[in-house]
Chain A
């Protein structure tokens, strides 16, 4: 367990206190999940630190939502275990796990007011752990303050905007003082403007309450901007776990390079530590790479334009389009008919030339599959 963290939200709500076991590390150990013998997750392991805000990022079908639902207890793993702190939670029901789950489409109870929605988790408790009605109402109001929706207690979900519903769903999940907050595509159904606003707001709430928080997204911008660490998933496996900088600057697989940010790739050959494109060296050396076929990855905006070409990549401009403050140029390279994209300043003369030579700034080689 980490040192107790205590956060005052400024609303009299302190929610992350280690002694109560509210703050929680989550450990996913070698989990496999099959649906009708079709594997959705293969042997996934992940350590989530207490109080961390972590994003599960991947294309659809990558298993990110399945992993989230496994942590929640909405699904049981086929193999492997899930620990909450030191406790094996794998066989515990969702009620016993005490997690706050925010559903993609919020799943607010339509026939209940906002206050009743938020108070639901407290109302269904049994015996002495169930607060009196007044207390439930007071807590609902406090949480509404926290999510900046004061005064909307008596509204019904149908009377709220998408962004407001999202906030109510979060308040409802936090009302049960969960050990872990889990959010499934929290901003997926909102328009871009509200999305950005809520993103910043979620970060603030997280910093204020300190819940261990896991959210699923397919939006890399959202993941990189919001999360302490990003878990990139593909085809039921974790590809890479790291901070936004790690993931963007040192992708560890062709998938991550291609999935995160923009990337261009070229099939190349390594010979005695030199990188060759077709029949000529391109002026990049990779002394530690074994000789053989490989794929060169680089970012379109991270290129150095050259005048003459002795040791460079040269190509003919095949297409050019204006993207905001820059110009994207598609180059046809050599006889291989390979196309790569690079970015040029709008007024750069190279954009007009039919032939452009460049060399990638930061790049990475992966052995050819």
Chain B
């Protein structure tokens, strides 16, 4: 908006060009397929989650949630998110700043590297930490000698989560900052602001909605991550079980109500995230970078 003459976001126009207007049956067919797909693969499972969770009544539902192991899993999940999301913000802003605002060697490499977690299976990323910190791993002996537990403990879970989530904030901010350029920062500097003041008063407010959007996605992933965490956690009940892992354990024990009760919390989180995400996109679409799809 520093130069709205140039960058004006116009609402999408309904294009009704005859050449690209499908016939009515074609349109109905396309919409039916889309809705049927969403209904079967998304809506139905969601209903089942809540249905199963409440199958034996509200009492059983609340009881499963107040089970000490379930509570511990919820606490651990919140803790992991509370650590990995701020780390992600710091990393994301630093990386986006470096990539968008100045030139250096290896920039393209860094940009590619940031996308790595999206292209690597989470299980592999978990295994990397096992190879690195495990008893037979590269640093395993040293860690054991010094009494530091990373694998099958909270630090390992945090590391795996950070690895899996680190593209979210950076990917959101890089195109946004690149598009905004250095003009506002130069203006702030010319008015006598130092680097930190420029960051707090100018850069951060300019990207706040994009940042919030990235944080939202990052948080959802951090709480819901299964694969990578599963490899490094060791599944110790009450100690290293996060919510997704706890759901699996309960389910394998044929405790459907318990499993779906915890799952309903995750589903609830997903719904809240979805609503917030939609609100953010509606309200600040122009200020959120155009990278969607994760």
Query: Which of A46-54, A106-114, A138-146, A192-200 touches B?
Result: A106-114
| B5 at the binding interface (Cβ < 8 Å) | yes
Name A150-207 residues within 8 Å CB distance of B.
157-158, 162, 172-173, 175-176, 189
Number of A-B contacts (CB under 8 A): 79
> 8 Å CB contacts to B: which residues of A41-68?
none
Q: Are B187 and A101 in contact, with the CB atoms below 8 A? A: yes
Indicate if A366 sits at the interface (CB-CB under 8 A).
no
Given A110-B206, A111-B205, A158 contacting B4 (CB threshold 8 A): yes
A172: B residues at CB distance < 8 A: 187, 191
B183–A95 CB distance below 8 A: no
Task: Determine the distance from Cα of A230 to Cα of B15 in the docked complex, in whole angstroms.
Answer: 50
Contact present for A110 and B189 (CB under 8 Å): no
**How many angstroms between the C-alpha atoms of A144 and B40 in the bound complex?**
61
The interface stretch among B155-163, B193-201, B268-276 is B193-201
A74 to B188, CA, bound (A): 12
CA distance A172 to B193 in the complex (A): 13
B143 within 8 Å of A (CB atoms): no
Question: B193 contacts which chain A residues (CB < 8 A)?
Answer: 95, 120-121, 124
- Which residues in chain B, 149-205, are within 8 Å of chain A measured between CB atoms? 183-184, 186-194, 197, 201-202, 205
Interface check B34, CB cutoff 8 A: no
| Nearest-Cβ distance from residue B288 to partner chain A, whole angstroms | 15
Tell whether A107 pairs with B191 under 8 Å between CB atoms, given A120-B201, A158-B1, A189-B3: no
> Roughly how many angstroms separate A172 CA and B186 CA in the complex, as a whole number?
13
Shortest Cβ distance from residue A71 to the other chain B in the assembled complex, whole angstroms: 11
Q: Are A120 and B3 in contact (CB under 8 A)?
A: no
B interface residues, tally (CB under 8 Å): 22
B190 contacts A100, C-beta separation under 8 Å: yes
B190 to chain A, nearest CB (A): 4
B201 partner residues in chain A, CB cutoff 8 A: 109, 120, 124
Cβ of A99: which chain B residues have Cβ within 8 Å of it?
Answer: 190
Does chain A have a CB within 8 A of B6? yes
Say whether A103 faces chain B, with CB atoms less than 8 Å apart: yes
**Does B19 reach chain A (CB closer than 8 Å)?**
no
Asked whether B26 is an interface residue with its Cβ less than 8 Å from the other chain, the reply is: no
Chain A positions within 8 Å of B18 at CB level: none
Q: Please, which residues of chain A bring their CB within 8 A of the CB of B58? A: none
CA distance A93 to B189 in the complex (A): 9
In the complex, what residues of B have CB within 8 A of residue A247's CB?
Answer: none
A296 contacts the other chain (CB 8 A): no
A124 touching B197 in the complex, CB below 8 Å, given contacts A94-B190, A98-B192, A110-B206: yes
Q: Is the interface of B mostly helix, strand, loop or mixed?
A: helix
User: A157-B1, A162-B5 known; A95 and B194 CB under 8 Å?
Assistant: yes
**Given the interface contacts A158-B1, A189-B5, does A107 sit within 8 Å of B186 by beta carbon?**
yes
Is B2 interfacial (CB 8 A cutoff)?
Answer: yes
- Nearest-neighbour CB distance to chain A for B98, whole angstroms, equals 19
Which of these, A72, A105, A108, A121, contacts B192 with CB under 8 Å? A121
Q: Does residue A125 face the partner (Cβ distance < 8 Å to B)?
A: yes
A95 and B1 in contact (CB under 8 A), knowing A105-B6, A120-B201? no
Is B184 in contact with A109, judged by CB distance below 8 angstroms? yes
In the assembled complex, the Cα of A19 lies from the Cα of B228 at a distance in Å of 68
Q: Return B45 CB to nearest CB of chain A, in Å.
A: 41
Which of A120, A162, A189 contacts B191, CB < 8 Å?
A120
Q: Are B5 and A107 in contact (CB under 8 A)?
A: no
Closest partner residue, chain B, to A119 (CB atom) = B191
With contacts A105-B2, A109-B202, A110-B206 taken as known, whether A121 is within 8 angstroms of B191 at the C-beta atoms is yes
Is there contact, CB below 8 Å, between A107 and B192? no
Chain A residues engaging chain B, CB cutoff 8 angstroms: 72, 74, 93-95, 98-101, 103, 105-111, 120-121, 124-125, 157-158, 162, 172-173, 175-176, 189
Beyond A109-B201, A120-B191, 12 additional pairs, beta carbon < 8 A: A95-B193, A105-B2, A105-B183, A107-B2, A107-B3, A107-B184, A108-B2, A109-B184, A111-B205, A120-B201, A124-B193, A157-B1
7 closest A-B pairs by CB: A105-B3, A121-B191, A110-B1, A107-B187, A107-B183, A101-B190, A124-B193
Q: List 17 A-B contacts (CB under 8 A).
A: A93-B189, A95-B193, A98-B192, A105-B3, A105-B183, A106-B3, A107-B2, A110-B1, A111-B205, A120-B201, A124-B192, A124-B194, A124-B201, A157-B2, A172-B191, A176-B191, A189-B6
